[in-house]
Structure 1
Amino acid sequence: MAFGKALAREVATKGVTVNTVCPGPTDTALLDQVAELSQNVYDAMAKAVPMKRIGTPDDVAPAVVFFAGDGAAFVTGQTLSVSGGLTMA
């Protein structure tokens, strides 16, 4: 996140935006391997997420699309957590 903010600051005057998407536990091939090794670990991850489920790529994609689209033309140096509330402070 710090690198993204530093880079955003450096290239902002050139009209380049830099933003970060931070997904939480997401149903991917890697997480499938975790589940194969330990269903308990997988279940604990899901339980730790306030929304009580593992995310999907379809949950993360809209955040990426937003940052890539015209609607984010004046957004730079930002971090968007797509984690079902896992990273709430």
Structure 2
Amino acid sequence: MSFDLWIDIFLCFCVLVIASSMFLVKQSFTAIVLFISLGLVVTLCWIQLNAIDVAIAEAAIGAGLTGAMLLAAWRKLSTEKSAKKSHRGDL
């Protein structure tokens, strides 16, 4: 078996493991980190398929921009939850 086939098998395995674990975790921050990791592994898949332009778009939009927006939303939600907890404690 050629080296490229081993790389393809490894990338497919990584995509399946990361995608399934992303749906199985309970913490939203862990799911977001796994989503960003999945985008980076899919970028490697596109590079392996010699689709460099699609890989650049996946890295920029799929992993970078979407991941940053999800992290910003998670941070805003976590600060709102902590503010509500501290507000309830004052009553």
Shorter-chain TM-score: what band?
A: 0.3 to 0.5
Task: Identify the structure with bigger relative contact order (alpha carbons < 8 Å, sequence gap 6+).
Answer: 1
Structure with max Cα Rg: 2
TM-score by length of 1: 0.34
Task: Give the structure with the larger helix fraction.
Answer: 2
Normalised by the size of structure 2, how large is the TM-score? 0.34
